[in-house]
């Protein structure tokens, strides 16, 4: 008998009929002889409706965070009750627990609280009494009993943290995709579902466009060594196991290819090459809550001793970035200019194997060149290489790189 934590997202529990499907799935797991803790999200659409209500009662003002948490927590509370009573109606012992009831303690940062402690004795007791435990994702309580929510990706985090706290044998994250793929199957036809991937690889892929899970939950799993499986709630296919890297993982050079569209490149030219400049620029960008990804700075080449700094942002953030940078530019001197262009996309190859294999970058660049794709910016980490290309070329770029590293079901050997 294993102890399994399962997580079902808002779409999986979006209607009464879907809740019945989830209940049947839980029962199947139980019938295989396992103990089950199922973490559920708010039914899809519910959270948005609650936010609308909040905006209607508060008018011009922002709703207060403390009360927003009390409000949003009702979404998951509704789902746990419905799921548990559904299981009861199918003749099974099941009980619901809110985050607070399950002993999930957080700090007091409302709307984006961090889990500080989990007291799992109550959950263990219920499991030992033969119950299936239906646990509200996304929520917890402060030590003094205030209701908190965990922010984006919070239900995944609940599942992984609870799996760590009760020392579960496996944590299954049910979603609407079959697992993690070598590339987006809508772009690369022969993209292959991965049987396993390391935490670090999934993190790098998540940060470069493969949106399977929020990085935060993966980081938590990595920190506490929680092995989890990403799989589909729509079929019975096995998914992708995410775990600490193994020897066999390292023999694979490239795990996958990620792509991210709708990017823009912002270049600041004529920047004096002295300490503190970059800090000022990205301080301003960060204060404006703009997500920056690639940052590239060349060594000074101009006779005037100045350099250029480029970075990428989402194209919708261009105007915001320019506004945020205006005061900094004035500060940096009159020759400093800002230039922003959209219509670019990012392409990344990720794999822990590249740590011990040289020549990966060269191989990637050659593949792109052979496909007639021009590279604009390059940025590398230990297990990832990212380039930007023209957005209209991203699909052929992805196909070329995917094929070059023989990631598909029917590897194309010749290049």
Please give the residue ranges that form the binding site for a second copy (CB under 8 A): 16, 19-20, 23, 50, 53-54, 56-61, 63-64, 66-68, 70-71, 73-74, 77-78, 80-86, 88-89, 95-96, 98, 101, 122, 145, 147
Please count the other Cβ atoms lying within 10 Å of the Cβ belonging to residue 32. 11
Q: Which is nearer to a second copy, 78 or 232 (CB)?
A: 78
* 44 backbone φψ class: left, alpha, beta (φ>0; ψ -120 to 50): beta
Q: If phi over 0 gives left and psi between -120 and 50 gives alpha, with beta otherwise, what is residue 24?
A: alpha
Smallest distance, a second copy to C-beta of residue 289, A: 22
Q: Which is nearer to a second copy, 54 or 338 (CB)?
A: 54
Report in angstroms how near the CB of residue 173 gets to a second copy at its nearest: 23
DSSP 3-state of 154? helix
CB of 39 vs a second copy, minimal distance in Å:
15
95/378 with CB nearer a second copy:
95
Q: Which SS3 state, helix, strand or coil, does residue 3 take?
A: strand
Residue 231 in contact with residue 240, Cβ under 8 Å? yes
Distance CA(242)–CA(228), nearest Å, equals 5
Q: In what order do the strands lie in the sheet with 256-272?
A: 295-297, 306-314, 256-272, 337-350, 384-390, 378-381
Nearer to a second copy, 72 or 165 (CB): 72
In whole angstroms, the minimum distance from the beta carbon of 13 to a second copy comes to 10
Q: Are 389 and 375 in contact (CB under 8 A)?
A: yes
Q: How far is the CB of 77 from a second copy (least distance, A)?
A: 5
The least distance separating a second copy from the CB of residue 4, rounded to whole angstroms, comes to: 22
Considering beta carbons, is residue 12 or 77 the nearer one to a second copy? Answer: 77
CA 363 to chain centre: 28
Of 73 and 403, which has the nearer Cβ to a second copy? 73
Closest approach of Cβ 148 to a second copy, in Å? Answer: 13
Q: Cβ closer to a second copy: 59 or 279? A: 59
Do residues 172 and 4 touch, judged by C-beta distance below 8 A? yes
Among the listed residues 397, 411, 409, 415, the one whose alpha carbon sits nearest the alpha carbon of residue 257: 397
């Amino acid at each position: 008998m294993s102890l399994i934590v399962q997580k079902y997202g808002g779409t999986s529990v979006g209607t009464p009929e879907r809740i019945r499907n989830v209940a049947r799935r839980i029962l199947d797991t139980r019938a295989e002889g396992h103990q089950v803790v199922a973490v559920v999200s708010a039914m899809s659409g519910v959270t948005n409706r609650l936010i609308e209500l909040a905006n209607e009662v508060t008018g011009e003002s922002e709703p207060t965070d403390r009360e927003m948490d009390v409000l949003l927590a009702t979404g998951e509370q509704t789902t746990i009750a419905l799921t548990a009573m559904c299981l009861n109606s199918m003749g099974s012992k099941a009980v619901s627990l809110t985050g607070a009831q399950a002993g999930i303690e957080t700090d007091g940062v409302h709307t984006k609280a961090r889990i500080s402690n989990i007291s799992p004795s109550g959950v263990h007791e219920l499991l030992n009494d033969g119950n299936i435990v239906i646990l509200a994702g996304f929520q917890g309580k402060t030590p003094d009993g205030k209701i908190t929510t965990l922010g984006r990706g919070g239900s995944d985090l609940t599942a992984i943290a609870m799996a760590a706290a009760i020392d579960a044998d496996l944590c299954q994250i049910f979603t609407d995709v079959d697992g993690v793929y070598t590339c987006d199957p809508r772009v690369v036809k022969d993209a292959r579902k991965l049987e396993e991937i390391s935490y670090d690889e999934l993190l790098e892929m998540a940060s470069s466009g493969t949106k399977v899970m929020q990085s935060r939950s993966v980081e938590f799993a990595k920190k506490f060594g929680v092995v989890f499986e990403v799989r589909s709630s729509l079929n019975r296919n096995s998914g992708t196991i995410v775990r600490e890297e193994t020897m066999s993982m390292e023999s694979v050079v490239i795990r996958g290819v990620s792509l991210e569209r709708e990017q823009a490149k912002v270049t600041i030219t004529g920047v004096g090459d002295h300490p503190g400049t970059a800090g000022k620029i990205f301080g301003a960008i960060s204060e404006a809550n703009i997500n920056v990804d690639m940052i590239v700075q060349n060594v000074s080449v101009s006779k005037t001793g100045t350099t250029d700094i480029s970075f990428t942002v989402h194209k919708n953030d261009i105007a915001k970035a320019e506004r945020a940078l205006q005061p900094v530019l004035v500060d940096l001197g009159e020759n400093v200019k800002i230039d922003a262009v959209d219509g670019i996309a990012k392409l990344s190859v990720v794999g822990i194997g590249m740590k011990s294999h040289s020549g990966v970058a060269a191989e990637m660049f050659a593949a792109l060149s052979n496909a007639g794709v021009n590279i604009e910016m390059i940025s590398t980490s230990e297990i990832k290489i990212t380039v930007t290309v023209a957005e209209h070329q991203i699909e052929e770029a992805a196909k070329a790189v995917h094929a070059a590293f023989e990631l598909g079901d029917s590897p194309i050997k010749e290049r």
